Amino acid sequence: MSQTLDNALKTESTRLFKDKAAKYGVMTGGILVLCALLLIFFYLLYVVQPVFNSAHVEARPATTAVDKSYFAVGIEEQTEISFALTKSGLVDFFNVKGESAGTQLDSIQASVPQNVVAVANSAPHQGLFGYMSDDAELTIVKPMFKIDFKDNQRTLSPRVNYPFGEEGLPSLFESQDETITRFAFAVEESVVSVLYQLSNGSLHFAKLEGEENFMTEEIEWEIEKSELDFVKGEIKNLLISPDGSRTFVVTKHELYVINTRYGSEAELLYNNKISRKGVDLTASNLLAGANSLMLAYSDGVINQWFESNGADGRDFVLVRKFEMQTNNADKAVTAIYPEFYRRTFIAATQSGEVNLFHTTSEAELWEGQLNTENVTDIRFSPRANTFVVLGQNAIQVNNIENEHPEVTWSGLWQEVWYEGYPEPDYIWQSSSASDDFESKFSLVPISFGTLKAAAYAMLFAVPIGLAAAVYTAYFMAPSVRKVVKPTVEIMEALPTVILGFLAGLWLAPIIEEKLPAVILILILLPLAIFIAAFVWHNIPKNIKNRVPAGWDSIILIPIVAIVGYVSFAMSPWVEEILFDGNTRLYITNELGITFDQRNSLIVGIAMGFAVIPTIFSIAEDAVFSVPKALSSGSLALGATQWQTLTKVVLLTASPGIFSAVMMGLGRAVGETMIVLMATGNTPIMDWSIFEGMRTLSANIAVEMPESEVGSSHYRILFLAAFVLFIFTFVFNTIAEFVRQRLREKYSSL
């Protein structure tokens, strides 16, 4: 007796130990899962947060004092050496970083004409400076730096380069009657474009194209010229695109945009009124890419113009405006200085107050007071992490933290008017082959694509999955259920990459070629099933009794096969009769609907096929788990099987059925490989079933490998992942809330 009692106590203590171990083990696992989710959440926020940081500008402590009259300033990529140029061609180089900051390193006299009458800068990224002589000979110089690594120490040696030789370009005049008072120039390979005004007020354009003589190895220049006699009024500024194809003449009241792709055939494209009542035009400049023109006025207003395709054709239009924020009444903008590549620019006043703007995001990034007045020139460094200011008797270098000026909350989720587009729109286009390209980071199209893909997948999967689950659990014979249920669940183990591969390379071409067959199946299959049910209901009972209960559905297998075969066999005939022999062209040309081979229909079928097993398995378990006593009691009280199913079984199983649908929705929202391979990955916003989409998950998979770590693109992809995380979190939270309410409501059944 004592031994039995000891064994019982020992068994009981072992059981208690196991119970506690299981309890705390499950608790620990749950806590670790929550911790993992929180870590993912906060890590995504950590990576994303810098894109919303505001710009920060800090002046370097050392200021370089100068005693010459410079007209331009610049700084090299490492921001260690700045340079300034005089109109006589003297180029001085200054150390602006380290212990010796503020000292002059070198001074080089460029080989320019003695009689310089005008000077000009090229586009910032070209880094060229032009000197025009009184006989119209242009000499172009470029300050450069030679990098040496002596004794494992990097040293920069200033140089002055002459892209077209020290002797300069040939004269623009055939006979010297006038002198050039102002000019603008651009260089593209061996072509130099020059827009210039003469002392008599006339305006001209010249294109010089150099070609090397293969015998003498000398450059022979061919000059094409045009007189721009259609320009009227007092000229305020001359601007030219980096490739010389467009020139912009800003007068006191009007803007002239001229096509100068061919030097001898300059053509006026646009002529716009730009004057504003009561204020004067004070500054103008082109942004990076030369697609946008910024015009500033004496009241501090800065307007952005660019070419756009409107209802009446292409036009040069006023798109948006900015306003200077200053601490004094003088808001007149004296100059506009753009970055090398981004649509960021500095606007400066006479008193040295500056504002930093980004056009596309419509954001004022920073405002402040420079340490010098009478600003002559400002130049960004190539990496846009500093800008150097040439002021009154001083050169000041300012460090700037402005990594993500193009990213704002409104830019991510609202319509943005990009250069060249007819109107504001939601656009995702992260990369291009051109340096002038402006990234477009709207998350709306890819978020829309995620919902669209999930919606079409659920539209395909939910009716099939739930109907199959209900029939299998409630009507099907147990022997058939033992085969059907595991077979459907095995489908869930099929890799989605295989489904995407088959959908993109096998299913999409078939549906494109046999689209009438798909339409016929959607019409004929339900009709055939209803006819078969009607016939089965009216055949004699002695025939029906030969089929075991629950095996009725087997009869539909040959019917479905026959309907599918007939539909595909009739496809060419239907296409010829109804769609003029080509369904795709008929949809595109006659109906005006864009048809992509990899479209939402393909995604709906392929991703629905992947989601069906999830919905089926959970819903089938929920229906089958309804106590038999409930259905038996209902049947005993005189209810039919259908009434019992709809009034008792489905209500009792509704929490599980709802969970099945939401689990399927979560699977569809997060699916990657199928939408990656079975769609065109086009970030468009259209509910058309014949067009594709791009989802958040597919976008991350496609673009993450090519994004630069720490760039705006990289961090916005993490933001897309965060949005996807929030999507699934919200869906799951709503699902759990609804499931609990359904459980409370029908738990008494």
What pLDDT, in 10s, does the model give residues 88-137? 999 999 998 877 788 888 899 999 888 899 999 999 999 999 999 988 89
pLDDT digits (tens, 9 = 90+) for 127-180: 999 999 988 899 999 999 988 887 778 888 899 999 988 888 888 886 667 889
Q: How far apart are CA 360 and CA 355, in angstroms?
A: 16
Instruction: Show the tokens assigned to 46.
Output: 């950590």
Strand partners, 367: 355
Whole-number pLDDT of residue 747? 62
The secondary element (H helix, E strand) that includes residue 566 is: helix 556-578
Residue 60 has a CB neighbour count (10 Å cut-off) of 18
pLDDT in tens, 667-705: 888 888 888 888 888 888 888 888 888 999 999 998 988
Instruction: Please give the Cα distance from 279 to 448 (Å, whole number).
Output: 45
Q: For 334, phi and psi rounded to 5 degrees? A: -90, -25
> Per-residue pLDDT for 468 more than 60?
yes
> Residue written as tokens 């009981």?
12
Helices 650-670 and 600-624: crossing angle, nearest 10°?
150
**How many residues belong to the chain?**
749
Q: What is the pLDDT of residues 545-559, one digit of tens each?
A: 777 766 777 788 888
List strands edge to edge, sheet with 129-133.
Answer: 116-121, 129-133, 138-150, 153-161
Contact yes or no for 369/410 (Cβ under 8 A): no
List, for residues 489-512, the tens digit of each pLDDT value. 888 888 888 888 888 889 888 888
Between the alpha carbon of residue 401 and those of residues 45, 294, 375, 393, the distances in Å are 20, 23, 22, 26
The amino acid sitting at 313 is G
Q: How many CB atoms lie within 10 A of CB 176?
A: 10
Q: pLDDT-based confidence at 319, cuts 50/70/90?
A: very high
CA distance 595 to 518: 15
Q: How is residue 457 written in tokens? A: 């997948």
The secondary element (H helix, E strand) that includes residue 182 is strand 180-188
Which tokens go with 322? Answer: 């900015």
CA 747 to chain centre: 49
- Would you list the DSSP string of 96-150? -SSTTTT-EEEEEE----SSEEEEEE--TTT--EEEEETT--EEEEEEEEEEEEE
Neighbouring residues of 269: CB distance < 8 A, sequence distance ≥ 6: 246, 257, 258, 259, 316
The CATH code belonging to domain 278-369 is 2.40.10
> Quick check: 743 pLDDT over 80?
no
Beta carbons within 10 angstroms of residue 524's beta carbon = 18
pLDDT tens digits for range 425-436: 999 988 776 767
Q: Is the dihedral of CA 699, 701, 704, 705 positive or negative?
A: negative
| 3-state DSSP assignment of residue 480 | helix
pLDDT band, residue 8 (cuts 50/70/90): low
* 1 pLDDT more than 80: no
Q: How far apart are CA 44 and CA 85, in angstroms?
A: 47
CB 101 within 8 A of CB 398: no
- Please name the residue that has the structure tokens 């242009």: 138
Domain ranges of the chain: 278-369, 455-746
In sequence order, what are the residues at sequence separation of 6 or more whose Cβ sits closer than 8 angstroms to the Cβ of residue 186?
A: 122, 123, 126, 192, 193, 240, 241, 242, 243, 244
Q: Measure the CA–CA gap between 96 and 156, rounded to whole angstroms.
A: 13
535 — pLDDT class (breaks 50, 70, 90): confident
Percent of the chain topping pLDDT 70? 96
The whole-number pLDDT of residue 217 equals 67
User: 532 or 542: whose pLDDT is higher?
Assistant: 532
Give the HSE-up count for residue 260: Cα atoms under 13 Å, Cβ half-sphere.
33
Report domain 455-746's class: mainly alpha
pLDDT at 321 over 90: yes
Lowest-confidence segment of 32-46, 346-360, 672-686 by average pLDDT: 672-686
Return the minimum-mean-pLDDT range out of 69-73, 354-358, 466-470, 631-635. 631-635
Task: Give the pLDDT score at 104.
Answer: 86
Q: What is the pLDDT of residues 393-437, one digit of tens each?
A: 888 999 999 899 988 888 899 999 998 888 899 999 887 767 678
Q: Which residue has the higher pLDDT, 74 or 629?
A: 74
Q: Report the share of the chain in percent with pLDDT over 90.
A: 34
pLDDT tens per residue, range 713-726: 999 999 999 999 88
3-state secondary structure at position 245: coil
Q: What is the mean pLDDT of the chain?
A: 87
Task: Specify the pLDDT at position 122.
Answer: 92
